[in-house]
């Protein structure tokens, strides 16, 4: 069976690209790491791929707002390629800085609908790296989270507080929410940034475009988990990999 | 013409920056300010139409959903009345880190007419405050006068481009009398004997030196670049030491002669074999003086520098981890105790933390661990140690060799006036006027420029496009190119170096320490391909010269020869320093304190001491997961907040082989005995590796000496003793040193009072872990498991946290019994690798009591411990000594009942005692030597005490 091709795009300051490519490889895709300039110049075309990912990092240093400059490149220089890609049924994943880019480029929550929500500095005012508990929104259309109810993932960001103005609240399709271990309303640090309705990730109406602050590519083997040394329970778990496997499965069936 | 755009969050949104500024103002004791609003300000030079201006604001400079823009004179977010408004901007000579991105981004949104851009911040204060308070909070919270200023009404924030008229300057050294020569020596940082050697050399050449030649010699011969003290001839109470480094630390490495040591003490970092196909390099650097005056920028560039060391090792390594150690004065020091001209330790702490984190996080290098040390003597001289490891193919492990005709290519950032004289600054003492005089020594880094350079260089390395690489660090081009050309000769065209702004003279170009620059030696046939890679990654690269076979350093500017030095003299002409070391007059005469009234309270107080307490506030602000390599994180345990020992990573994603990394540092022992301080630091670093399951088979060490006044006889004597300990322990453990660093002048004189830092030796250790699936963490795992102490306890309280708590000196510092230590560590690591141990924690500050408490609260379980079972190296009849002695080479170990028998067999011949068990009831119970309960404290209380001090 031919492996689906995944384009992992990077800009100056992107830094989670290698492990993202590795996760796609483990999941059965054929990943390519491509500098955004090569896509803009036309040397590499989105036409040849079925998965498009924007990994984490600090694109252009996050100068002028997290993901802002790269978002402008997507919106103004890759617009037609992206529209063709999305319309043909391609899947899009943005993790951390990639989520910030998707939001600012107007690909989420409504593809090509302009920027409607934002990701603001964490309520704590700090960059934070920690593992969080996430619950998957029941009945959401997202293709990436099929088969998972809840999972643990690492977050590492300074600007992850989802801000949703009243006029767009109805358009939001939540996929992942920060959760507490006992099911009560999550407060800091269970919700590490103070997001709107504790939302950690959201998708478009089709379920094929997902943006999330946590890093699924940082949990592709059991020993990634912070408690793997505690007991044998974690010997099989590598829940982050499911996101990538689901994307590959979807691309294979499409 | 300049446009001004102001950007702020919408009124209904909380800006955490404002909260932070307000709390920092309150920290100063200013209570009249009730509210602060903050806005970003951008100035764009160019003529824009109104529509274009609005596109720039809404399309690039702001977030249209959450922010609002004000154009030209408009202000946003603020309300009236306010008590004070001010705008800060970078000083004219300082590069604005946002300018490049603004200029790029503005073209993306279709605007062409912007030539320059600057950024700033607008602060509006509400409430009541007087002019004196405003002045204070401006200087201490809102800006750092070294790099920023308050914008005056009507001020043009754009720097005027200065012009430079080339004029070759000779220095009339040969005509000078003794006095003038002394003054000249002082201004270049030469000693008198060095100045005389320079004069003699130019006498024989038959001409006066040019300024750039003197600069080159001064940089190349500086303490920072050649480590003069370590290479000096020392008379140590009658013992003659010729080159301390070579005769102690390097001597041990040579004697050990490990075949897995691929490159030691010859390159920017030491290199060891990782898995036959790949090599790992490791280096720790300091950036102390710049961090004292501009904590954020100084510390950030410190990290940037050590990362370039790794990038410039062999033929280039990919950075895979950072480990950072900071030493500060206590953050609660009162302003009255603060010497004049010194930044408050809390501000230094926050600035350093932010600088290193912002730079490291942006580069995408995980900060896997580190530590903090506090001592009032760091007040004027904080220490910032940044360590970085990298991985490279084994073929790239050795230092390259250029050939005559190869081109000198300068890559990365542009050259400005940054850090001029940083090297001599780094080797000088600081005083009241340092904040004023060190302006140009402070550099502003740009991590994204460095990240792009790493991306480009890794591709160029794998295509074998260059023959040699080095970083531009201290001394800039003068050190990098001068060193690289030593064996061949090199010619540099200084006018070809790309500049940030006009107006630099040829000698400024040559010695500038602008960040993010690397030098590669490229065969002419490969230059086009290298340039293509650089262009595709957006990295600037310029041919600035060529290697020759003249064995001369030739510098040209506009075709005029401005410098022409013989490489032999440049690198071999420095007269060896002659120093005297002598043992202190007074013998240590401290006595052990009387036992504390309550041992439970003593434990709680020690857990709350700055050197022991949780560093979570710092750790969480560093990304320790990026690169997907994490195996053991800095914080471990049930709630992921326990203090892990060594960190473990898997640098190659598809291999279970890994690296363990740790640090050892304890300055208090050094006040008593520098030999045992060094030995203890080595033992601490190594036992942290062992605690996670690493073996001693492939452990490499780095030394990093920071001394107060390194050349003072007693201080130098302590340095000699430390080096001897490094030599002895290195041999005893079979763990070679592979690289090192020193910074020996960390003292300040304030109004005649000298404050020197304590002797500080940081030992960084790295171990290759064959199978990372077998490593363990320090948190207790299950009730019912047996707890053991492995390693003998001695009555060694001097320099301990317990003595510090009781304000007593203590009698004996912890010694190291290397034979016993080695056997203990080998047996324990074998037992861990056999799977017999589920948790292990090394005993360090606070001894057994702290180790047991930390294991218990990290696992969320209790312990029942009996001190009578603790193996003792000598007779001890006091519970407090058994609990709090900081004897080396000891561990607390948790063993499941099913493995107890096997574990005890493996420990035969090793000091080992079952001290108790893990219990469900989450309380730490400890019985004294006579069986009575001496400590019984719930783990929640212990943990809370441990978390409190730095929970900011």
Tokens of B458: 């890794």
Residue of B nearest to A192 (CA): B620
B136-140, B453-457, B663-667: least confident range: B136-140
Q: Do B362 and A226 touch (CB under 8 A)?
A: no
DSSP one-letter string for B584-633: -SSPP---PPPPPS-HHHHHHHHHTSTTTS--HHHHTTS-SSGGG-EEE-
Residue of B nearest to A41 (CA): B536
- Nearest by CB to residue B102, choosing from A35, A64, A131, is A64
Can you tell me whether residue A76 is helix, strand or coil? helix
Quick one: pLDDT at residue A232? 61
- Mutation target to probe the B interface, by most B beta carbons within 10 A, among A163, A223, A243, A244 is A223
Q: Is any Cβ of chain B less than 8 angstroms from the Cβ of A161?
A: no
Distances (CA, A) of B515 to B312, B422, B447: 14, 12, 9
Contacts of B105 in chain A (CB under 8 A): 60, 63-64, 68-69, 72
Q: Is any Cβ of chain A less than 8 angstroms from the Cβ of B795?
A: no
Q: Kindly report, residue by residue over B744-782, the tens digit of the pLDDT.
A: 999 999 888 899 999 999 999 999 999 999 999 999 999
- Count up the domains in chain A and report the number: 1
Quick one: pLDDT at residue B174? 94
- Nearest by CB to residue A35, choosing from B97, B536, B623, is B536
**Same domain flag for B89 and B193:** no
Quick one: pLDDT at residue B437? 39
Q: Report yes or no on B594 lying in a domain.
A: no
Q: What is the CATH number of the domain that holds A221?
A: 3.40.50.880
- The whole-number average pLDDT for the span B162-182 is 91
**Same domain flag for B450 and B511:** yes
The mean predicted confidence, pLDDT, of chain B is 93
Residues in contact with B226: Cβ distance below 8 Å, sequence separation at least 6, in sequence order: B220, B574
- Mutation target to probe the B interface, by most B beta carbons within 10 A, among A9, A11, A12 is A12
**Same domain flag for B917 and B850:** yes
Q: Report yes or no on B240 lying in a domain.
A: no
Q: What is the CATH number of the domain that holds B446?
A: 3.90.650.10
Residue of A nearest to B42 (CA): A64
Active site amino acids of B: 224, 287
- Nearest by CB to residue A19, choosing from B14, B536, B627, is B627
Furthest CA-CA distance within chain A: 51
**Same domain flag for B650 and B544:** no
- Nearest by CB to residue A127, choosing from B13, B361, B779, is B361
Residue B438: pLDDT over 60: no
Quick one: pLDDT at residue B752? 87
Q: Is any Cβ of chain A less than 8 angstroms from the Cβ of B405?
A: no
What's the rounded Cα separation, in Å, for the pair B668 and B888? 14
Q: Which band of pLDDT confidence, cut at 50, 70 and 90, is reported for residue A237?
A: low
Half-sphere exposure of B419 (CA within 13 A, CB side): 30
List alpha helices for B312-439, DSSP H. 345-363, 422-426, 434-437
**Same domain flag for B617 and B564:** no
Q: Is any Cβ of chain A less than 8 angstroms from the Cβ of B145?
A: no
The mean predicted confidence, pLDDT, of chain A is 95
Residue B433: pLDDT over 50: no
Q: Kindly report, residue by residue over B625-644, the tens digit of the pLDDT.
A: 999 999 999 999 999 999 99
12-51 in chain B: CB under 8 A from chain A: 13-17, 19-20
**Same domain flag for B99 and B184:** no
Quick one: pLDDT at residue B275? 97
B306-320, B326-340, B687-701: least confident range: B326-340
A161-165, A171-175, B229-233: least confident range: B229-233
Measured in degrees and rounded to the nearest 5, phi and psi for residue B924 equal -90, 110
104-133 in chain A: CB under 8 A from chain B: 104, 115-118, 120-131
Distances (CA, A) of B340 to B27, B137, B425, B748: 19, 16, 19, 11
- Contact of A227 with A234, CB cutoff 8 Å: yes
Q: Is any Cβ of chain A less than 8 angstroms from the Cβ of B648?
A: no
- The whole-number average pLDDT for the span A106-118 is 97
Quick one: pLDDT at residue B445? 83
Helix (H) or strand (E) holding B803: helix B801-806
What's the rounded Cα separation, in Å, for the pair B293 and B295? 6
Residue B439: pLDDT over 70: no
**Same domain flag for B566 and B606:** no
Range of the domain at B325: 268-572
Q: Is any Cβ of chain A less than 8 angstroms from the Cβ of B622?
A: yes
Q: Which band of pLDDT confidence, cut at 50, 70 and 90, is reported for residue B434?
A: very low
Q: Do A64 and B775 touch (CB under 8 A)?
A: no
Residue A233: pLDDT over 70: no
Residue of A nearest to B840 (CA): A229
Residue of B nearest to A14 (CA): B364
Tokens of A106: 């107007």
- Nearest by CB to residue A124, choosing from B16, B447, B537, is B16
Residue B456: pLDDT over 90: yes
- Contact of A163 with A175, CB cutoff 8 Å: no
Of B196, B211, B228, at which residue does a domain stop?
A: B228
- Contact of B675 with B815, CB cutoff 8 Å: no
Residue appearing with tokens 């890609």:
A85
Q: Kindly report, residue by residue over B543-591, the tens digit of the pLDDT.
A: 999 999 999 999 999 999 999 999 999 999 999 999 999 999 888 888 8
Torsion over CA: A173, A176, A178, A181 (sign): positive
- Count up the domains in chain B and report the number: 4
**Same domain flag for B703 and B556:** no
Q: Which band of pLDDT confidence, cut at 50, 70 and 90, is reported for residue B443?
A: low
Quick one: pLDDT at residue B27? 81
Q: Which band of pLDDT confidence, cut at 50, 70 and 90, is reported for residue A254?
A: confident
Contacts of B772 in chain A (CB under 8 A): 223
Q: What is the CATH number of the domain that holds B98?
A: 3.30.1280.10
DSSP state of B155: -
Q: Which band of pLDDT confidence, cut at 50, 70 and 90, is reported for residue B147?
A: confident
Residue B429: pLDDT over 80: no
Distances (CA, A) of A138 to A141, A142, A150, A213: 9, 10, 10, 19
Quick one: pLDDT at residue B590? 86
What's the rounded Cα separation, in Å, for the pair A221 and A22? 11
- Contact of B680 with B666, CB cutoff 8 Å: yes
Residue B487: pLDDT over 80: yes
Quick one: pLDDT at residue B424? 46
Alpha carbon of A115: minimum distance to chain B alpha carbons (Å): 7
- The whole-number average pLDDT for the span B911-923 is 98
Quick one: pLDDT at residue A167? 94
Q: Is any Cβ of chain B less than 8 angstroms from the Cβ of A159?
A: no
Q: How many beta carbons lie within 10 A of that of residue B62, not counting itself?
A: 24
Residues in contact with A234: Cβ distance below 8 Å, sequence separation at least 6, in sequence order: A222, A225, A227, A228
Count of CB contacts below 8 A, A vs B? 167
Q: Do B626 and A56 touch (CB under 8 A)?
A: yes
Residue among B761, B735, B743, B741 nearest B664 (CA): B761
Q: Do A68 and B9 touch (CB under 8 A)?
A: no
Residue B495: pLDDT over 90: yes
Quick one: pLDDT at residue B426? 46
Q: Is any Cβ of chain B less than 8 angstroms from the Cβ of A137?
A: no
Quick one: pLDDT at residue B419? 72
DSSP state of B138: I
Tokens of A156: 């590492």
Helix (H) or strand (E) holding B556: strand B552-557
Residue B126: pLDDT over 70: yes
Contacts of A104 in chain B (CB under 8 A): 63
Quick one: pLDDT at residue B333? 93
CA dihedral B43→B46→B49→B50, nearest 10 degrees, is 10
- Nearest by CB to residue B536, choosing from A37, A72, A73, is A37
Residue among B532, B536, B100, B540 nearest A37 (CA): B536
B218-227, B658-667, B939-948: least confident range: B218-227
Active site amino acids of A: 96, 215, 217
Q: Kindly report, residue by residue over B703-754, the tens digit of the pLDDT.
A: 999 999 988 999 999 999 999 999 999 999 999 999 999 999 999 998 888 9
Range of the domain at A245: 5-253
**Same domain flag for B382 and B446:** yes
Quick one: pLDDT at residue A74? 96
- Nearest by CB to residue B451, choosing from A12, A129, A218, is A12
Contacts of A23 in chain B (CB under 8 A): 628
Helix (H) or strand (E) holding B19: helix B16-27
Contacts of A33 in chain B (CB under 8 A): none
Quick one: pLDDT at residue B915? 98
Q: Do B448 and A60 touch (CB under 8 A)?
A: yes
What's the rounded Cα separation, in Å, for the pair A221 and B825? 29
């Amino acid at each position: 069976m031919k492996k689906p091709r995944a384009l992992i795009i990077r800009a100056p300051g992107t830094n989670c690209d290698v492990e993202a490519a590795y996760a796609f490889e483990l999941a059965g895709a054929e990943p390519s790491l491509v500098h955004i300039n090569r896509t803009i110049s036309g040397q590499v075309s989105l036409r040849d791929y079925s998965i498009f990912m924007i990994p984490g990092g600090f694109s252009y240093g996050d100068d002028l707002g997290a993901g802002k400059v790269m978002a402008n490149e997507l919106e103004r220089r890759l617009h037609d390629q992206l529209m063709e890609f999305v319309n043909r049924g391609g899947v899009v994943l943005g993790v951390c800085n990639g989520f910030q880019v998707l939001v600012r480029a107007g690909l989420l929550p409504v593809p090509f609908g302009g920027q409607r929500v934002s990701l603001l500095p964490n309520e704590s005012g700090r960059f934070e790296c920690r593992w969080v508990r996430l619950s998957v929104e029941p009945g959401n259309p997202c293709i990436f989270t099929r088969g998972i109810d809840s999972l643990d993932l690492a977050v590492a960001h300074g600007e992850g507080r989802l801000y949703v103005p009243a006029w767009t609240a109805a358009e939001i399709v939540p996929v992942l929410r920060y959760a507490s271990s006992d099911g009560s309303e999550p407060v800091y640090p269970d919700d590490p940034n103070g997001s709107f309705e504790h939302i950690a990730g959201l998708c478009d109406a089709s379920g094929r475009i997902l943006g999330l602050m946590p890093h699924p590519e940082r949990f592709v083997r059991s020993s990634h988990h912070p408690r793997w040394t505690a007991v044998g329970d974690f010997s099989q778990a590598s829940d982050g990999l499911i996101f990538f496997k689901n994307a590959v499965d979807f691309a294979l069936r499409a | 013409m300049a446009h001004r755009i102001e950007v702020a969050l919408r009124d209904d949104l909380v800006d955490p920056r404002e909260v932070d500024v307000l709390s920092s103002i309150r920290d100063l004791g200013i209570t009249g300010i009730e509210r602060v609003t903050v806005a970003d300000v951008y100035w764009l030079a160019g003529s824009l139409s109104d529509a274009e201006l609005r596109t720039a604001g809404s399309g690039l400079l702001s977030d249209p959903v959450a922010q609002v823009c004000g154009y030209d004179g408009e202000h946003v977010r603020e309300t009236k009345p306010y008590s004070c408004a001010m705008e800060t901007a970078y000083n004219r000579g300082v590069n604005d880190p946002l300018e490049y991105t603004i200029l790029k981004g503005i073209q993306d949104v279709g605007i062409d007419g912007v030539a320059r851009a600057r950024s700033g911040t607008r602060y509006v204060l509400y409430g009541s405050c007087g002019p004196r308070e405003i002045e204070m909070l401006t200087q201490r919270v809102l800006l750092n006068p070294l790099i920023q200023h308050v914008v005056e009404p009507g001020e043009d924030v754009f720097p005027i481009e200065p012009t430079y008229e080339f004029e070759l300057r000779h220095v009339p050294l040969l005509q000078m009398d003794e006095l003038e020569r002394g003054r000249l020596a002082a201004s270049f940082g030469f000693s008198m004997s060095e100045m005389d050697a320079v004069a003699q050399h130019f006498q024989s050449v038959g001409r006066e030196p040019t300024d750039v030649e003197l600069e080159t010699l001064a940089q190349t011969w500086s303490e920072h670049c050649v480590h003069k003290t370590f290479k000096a001839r020392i008379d140590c109470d009658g013992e003659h030491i010729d080159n301390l480094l070579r005769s102690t630390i390097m001597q041990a490495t040579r004697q050990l002669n490990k075949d897995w040591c691929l490159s030691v003490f010859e390159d920017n970092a030491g290199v060891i074999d990782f898995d036959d196909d790949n090599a790992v390099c490791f280096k720790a650097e300091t950036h102390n003086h710049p961090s004292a005056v501009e904590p954020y920028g100084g510390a950030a560039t410190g990290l940037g520098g050590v990362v370039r060391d790794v990038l410039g090792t062999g033929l280039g390594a990919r950075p895979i981890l950072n480990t950072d150690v900071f030493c500060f004065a206590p953050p609660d020091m009162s302003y009255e105790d603060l010497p004049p001209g010194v930044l408050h330790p809390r501000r230094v702490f926050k600035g350093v933390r932010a600088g290193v984190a912002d730079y490291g996080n942006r580069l995408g290098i995980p900060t896997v661990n580190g530590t903090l040390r506090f001592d009032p003597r760091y007040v004027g001289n904080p220490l910032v140690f940044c360590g970085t490891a990298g991985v490279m193919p084994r073929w790239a492990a050795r230092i390259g060799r250029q050939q005559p005709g190869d081109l000198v290519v300068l890559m990365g950032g542009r050259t400005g006036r940054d850090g001029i004289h940083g090297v001599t600054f780094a080797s000088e003492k600081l005083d009241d006027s340092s904040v004023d005089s060190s302006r140009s020594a402070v550099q502003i880094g740009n991590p994204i420029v460095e990240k792009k350079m790493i991306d480009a260089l890794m591709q160029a390395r794998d295509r074998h496009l260059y023959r040699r690489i080095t970083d531009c660090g201290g001394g800039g081009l003068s050190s990098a190119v001068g060193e690289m050309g030593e064996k061949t000769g090199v010619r540099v065209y200084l006018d070809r170096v790309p500049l940030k702004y006009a107006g630099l003279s040829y000698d400024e170009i040559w010695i500038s320490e602008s960040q993010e620059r690397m030098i590669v030696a490229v065969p002419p046939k490969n230059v086009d391909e290298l340039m293509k890679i650089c262009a595709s990654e957006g990295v600037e690269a310029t041919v600035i010269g060529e290697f020759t076979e003249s064995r001369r350093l030739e510098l040209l500017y506009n075709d005029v020869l401005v410098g022409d030095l013989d490489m032999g003299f440049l690198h071999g002409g420095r007269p060896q320093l002659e120093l005297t070391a002598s043992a202190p007059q007074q013998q240590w005469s401290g006595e052990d304190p009387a036992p504390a009234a309550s041992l439970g309270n003593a434990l709680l107080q020690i857990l709350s001491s700055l050197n022991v307490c949780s560093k979570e506030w710092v750790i969480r602000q560093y990304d320790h997961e990026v690169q997907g390599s994490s195996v053991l994180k800095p914080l471990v345990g049930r709630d992921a907040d326990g203090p892990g020992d060594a960190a473990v990573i898997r640098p190659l994603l598809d291999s279970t082989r890994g690296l363990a990394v740790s640090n050892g540092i304890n300055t208090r022992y050094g006040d008593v005995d520098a030999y045992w301080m060094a030995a203890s630091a080595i033992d601490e670093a190594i036992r942290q590796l062992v605690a996670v399951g690493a073996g001693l088979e492939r452990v490499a060490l780095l030394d990093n000496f920071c001394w107060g006044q390194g050349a003072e006889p007693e201080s130098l004597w302590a340095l000699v003793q430390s080096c001897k300990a490094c030599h002895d322990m290195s041999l005893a453990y079979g763990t070679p040193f592979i690289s090192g660093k020193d910074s020996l002048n960390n003292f300040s004189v304030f109004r005649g009072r000298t404050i020197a830092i304590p002797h500080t030796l940081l030992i960084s250790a790295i171990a290759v872990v064959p199978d990372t699936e077998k490593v363990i963490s320090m948190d207790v795992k299950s009730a019912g498991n047996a707890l053991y102490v492995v390693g003998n306890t001695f009555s060694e309280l001097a320099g301990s946290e317990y003595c510090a708590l009781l304000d007593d000196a203590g009698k004996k510092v912890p010694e190291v019994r290397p034979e016993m230590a080695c056997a203990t560590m080998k047996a324990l690591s074998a037992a861990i690798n056999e799977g017999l141990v589920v948790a292990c924690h090394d005993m360090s500050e606070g001894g057994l009591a702290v180790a047991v408490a930390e294991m218990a609260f990290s696992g969320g379980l209790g312990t029942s411990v009996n001190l009578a079972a603790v193996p003792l190296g000598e007779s001890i009849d006091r519970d407090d000594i058994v609990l709090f002695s900081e004897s080396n080479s000891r561990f607390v170990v948790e063993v499941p009942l099913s493995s107890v028998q096997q574990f005890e067999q493996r420990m035969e011949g090793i000091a080992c005692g079952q001290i108790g068990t893990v219990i469900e009831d989450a309380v730490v119970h400890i019985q004294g030597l006579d069986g009575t309960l001496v400590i019984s404290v719930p783990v929640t209380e212990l943990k809370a005490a441990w978390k409190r001090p730095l929970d900011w």
